[in-house]
Amino acid sequence: QFPHHLFRGKRESLDMADRALSVAKYAVSKGFDQALPPLRRRFVYLPYEHSERLTDQDECVSLFAAMKDDDPQGYEYAVRHRTVIERYGRFPARNQLLGRAATPEEEAFLSENPRGF
C-alpha cells in the first residue's frame, strides 16, 4: 500500500498492486489479519479495495462487514469501491493514468465524484 499512496497520481502507484493483493490474500488465508486490531486490519484489506476485479471487491466488502461495528467508514468505503467496479468494471479515475479512454458515463461520474468512488 505504500507505493499506492507514495506515488498517488502516477503510474508507479499501481506497479505493486498485484503483489500487495497477493500478500493480503495470503495473510487473510492464514488468519494473520485476525491477530490485528480492527483499524490495523484495514491496512491488510486495502489491496482488495484497490483491485479492479469484482471478486476481490466482493471479498473486500465481506472482510469489512465482519468488522463493521469497529470500522463503519472502512465498510462504507468498501461498498462504494465495489459499486464503482460493478458499474464500470474498472475505476474510471485511473483511466488517464493508464491511458484508457473514458466513456461519457465515466466522465459524468468523475465530474460528480472527483475522488473516483
Taking only the tens of pLDDT, the chain with its 117 residues reads 666 666 677 677 777 888 899 999 999 999 999 999 999 999 999 999 999 999 999 999 999 999 999 999 999 999 999 999 999 999 999 999 899 999 999 999 999 998 888
8 A C-beta contact, residue 70 and residue 38:
yes
pTM: 0.89
Residue that is written with C-alpha cell 465498510 in the block: 75
Domain range holding 10? 2-88
Question: 88: closest CA among 75, 107, 74, 73?
Answer: 107
Domain count, the chain: 1
Residue that is written with C-alpha cell 466522465 in the block: 107
Domain presence at residue 28: yes
CATH of the domain at 71: 1.25.40.10
Domain presence at residue 44: yes
